[in-house]
């Protein structure tokens, strides 16, 4: 089955700086890669996603890049704000089954 690795497990940045979270996957059949943000006690919320036929996608301060050959994808958050503090999960999807990364706890220091 699919194996998704996510790094780093914790990340602290100063407000206004950029944050980058990286994931790798193993199954070349995976074709959809969402990123979820989860605040304490709340549900995971989809913040951006990318499909395997696209290399990069941007939505305001958030961007995702995908390298299919290397089987890795990354989340980039620019101009970070304290409200960006949360746990972020990447995932790789094969069929209708999600494989989540282990999560990154992001803290944005004001």
Partner 1 sequence: DTEVTQTPKHLVMGMTNKKSLKCEQHMGHRAMYWYKQKAKKPPELMFVYSYEKLSINESVPSRFSPECPNSSLLNLHLHALQPEDSALYLCASSHPRVSNEQFFGPGTRLTVL
Report the residue number, 27 or 100, with the smaller CB distance to partner 1: 100
Please report whether residue 2 would count as binding partner 1 according to CB under 8 A: no
Site map (CB under 8 A) of partner 1, residues 16-35, x = contact: ---------------xx-x-
Please report whether residue 98 would count as binding partner 1 according to CB under 8 A: yes
Q: What is the DSSP string of 92-105?
A: EEETTEEEE---EE
Least Cβ distance, residue 79 to partner 1 (angstroms): 26
Report the residue number, 18 or 97, with the smaller CB distance to partner 1: 97
Do strands 72-77 and 62-67 pair parallel, antiparallel, or not at all (unpaired)? Answer: antiparallel
Give me the torsion for CA of 98, 94, 4, 68, rounded to 10°: -140
Among 23, 103, 106, 108, indicate the residue that binds partner 1 (CB under 8 A): 103
CA distance 92 to 29: 10
Of 102, 107, 79, whose CA–CA distance to 22 is shortest?
Answer: 102
Among 19, 23, 25, 44, indicate the residue that binds partner 1 (CB under 8 A): 44
């Amino acid at each position: 089955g699919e194996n998704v690795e996510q790094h780093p497990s914790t990340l602290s940045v100063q407000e206004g700086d950029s944050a980058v979270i990286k994931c790798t996957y193993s199954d070349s059949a995976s074709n959809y890669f969402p990123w979820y943000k989860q605040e304490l006690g709340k549900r995971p919320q989809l913040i951006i996603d990318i499909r395997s036929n696209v290399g990069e996608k941007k939505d305001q301060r958030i961007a995702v890049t995908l390298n299919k050959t290397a089987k890795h994808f990354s989340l980039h958050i620019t101009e970070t704000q304290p409200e960006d503090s949360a746990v972020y999960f990447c995932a790789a999807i094969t069929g209708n089954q999600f494989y989540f990364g282990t999560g990154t706890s992001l803290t944005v220091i004001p």
